[in-house]
Amino acid sequence: MSKRFKSNQFYFPILQLPTFQDERGLLTVLDDILPFEIKRTYWIYGADGQVRGGHRHHKTRQALIAISGVVVVHMDDGLVCDDIQLDSPSRCLLVEPKDWHTMSFGVNSVLLVISSEHYNRSDYIDERYSHHD
């Protein structure tokens, strides 16, 4: 029987991306920091108040970055679940294939998704983990 508990901030990995600031603004860099080769990149926007996702994968690894606004990502790996707020373009959440996830979008949010695989519907697992409390 699995136990389900709320994680601390270090269970699901969040990368702090290098960010440089001067009088002209901020520049955040994503360069050789992801633990996978990038094969697909897309962004989700115009989803104010919507919940998207609701799946995990067989193979695909992802990196999620809220480029603008706030996106709350619910993560569940079958043992641990947590809600992680992405509210800075310098924070990058790593989503492993085992991580069932949903994304709740705040007003004017833009979520950048970087993926280790090209789109393949057969890689998706839509069923949630069943927990026994």
pLDDT (tens digit, 9 = 90+) per residue, 64-78? 999 999 999 999 999
d(CA 17, CA 30): 7
pLDDT (tens digit, 9 = 90+) per residue, 79-127? 999 999 999 999 999 999 999 999 999 999 999 999 999 999 999 999 9
In the residue annotation, 55 being an active-site residue is answered as: yes
Greatest alpha-carbon span in the chain: 55
Residue 5 clears pLDDT 90, i.e. is over it:
no
Residue 3 clears pLDDT 90, i.e. is over it:
no
What is 21-76 written as a DSSP string? Answer: EETTEEEE--SS-SSS---EEEEEES-TT-EEEEEEESS--EEEEEEES-EEEEEE
Domains of the chain in sequence order: 35-118 (2.60.120.10)
SS3 95: strand
Q: How far is CA 53 from CA 15, 46, 100, 105, in A?
A: 21, 15, 9, 11
Among the listed residues 55, 57, 58, 101, the single catalytic one is: 55
